[in-house]
Amino acid sequence: MSALICGSLAFDTITNFHGRFKEQILPEQIHILNVSFLVPTLRREFGGCAGNIAYTLKLLGGEPLVMAALGADGQDYLDRLRSWGVTTEYVRAVPHSYTAQAIIMTDVDNNQITAFHPGAMQFAHENEVQPREDLKLAIIAPDGREAMLDHAEQLATAGVPFIFDPGQGLPMFTSDELKRFVSLATWVALNDYEAKLLTERTGQSLETLSRSHLQGIVVTLGAEGCEVWTQGEVERVPGVKASAVVDPTGCGDAFRGALLYGLERGWSLKRCVELGNRVGAIKIACNGPQNHTLDRAALGLE
């Protein structure tokens, strides 16, 4: 069975600031902000949430279907997806645009500042979800605004359960639109900041949101683990200590790849989250969002 991953494919330019953002930004001068950060290191990586999620899901033994858009400069990414044995039938080429680009800067506390050019992602709504017998579930990850709205409706019409994972795209949507996403979704996945924003925008607490048709809300808390909300009750699932903290870029996507893997197999949400925490701890010890390796036997998957 397959999992449809609706989201972005992007090239990431990743840099490191060997200091703390909070020590360089004066809150009382924020209205005239003019700062520069020295970043001695720079790498270019394959990224975008759809590609990152698909990478981990494939490593775990899942079958990702990527629905995304690439620009005229995207051939290398197509080749990369195909090298994993992933079909690119739902990856649209947009010849008059660049592939989405993210410039990510990380400080010593693993805080990040990101500049993002959407490029071809703005045309992702031209892809349409089609019913197919082997499609078991899906995820709506950060993508073009219109694409996220359309794909959620199309998945619901097709009867495909999906995770609503708005990520950094959450501020694009109104209160009514966010309520609509939640009403269509089967699960919701957020980090703790996004969870606070969602509750503010909808005027509903996580407890209230979870007392619904939803089968669960997952809130990631970084190294502290996760909260799992089901029918108004919350359970804390502890984090997994990483062997090293090298690069947080893509940790949330690696977690979501594991979440999809478990849900596709009918696991309990807690078991899915436990695997996600282990995979996230492995990913953070590696540079880039698509360079980690997984030992399926060590993870208890063989």
**Which residues in 165-206 belong to E strands, given as ranges?**
187-191
E strand map for 100-225: 100-106, 112-117, 135-140, 162-164, 187-191, 216-220
User: At 259, which amino acid appears?
Assistant: L
Kindly report the length of the chain: 302
User: How many CB atoms within 10 Å of residue 36?
Assistant: 6
| 12 has catalytic annotation | no
The set of residues, in sequence order, having a beta carbon less than 8 Å from that of 196 and lying 6+ positions away, is none
The phi-psi region of residue 261 (left if phi > 0; otherwise alpha if psi is between -120 and 50; otherwise beta) is: alpha
Token readout for 234 is: 């919350």
Residue 7 to residue 165: CA distance in whole angstroms: 10
Q: Which residue is catalytic, options 134, 150, 253, 295? A: 253
Phi, psi of 285 (to 5 degrees): -85, 0
Q: At what angle do helices 192-202 and 175-184 cross, to 10 degrees?
A: 110
First to last CA, the chain: 18
Question: Alpha helices, DSSP H only, in 251-297?
Answer: 251-264, 269-283
- Indicate which residues carry an active-site annotation: 253
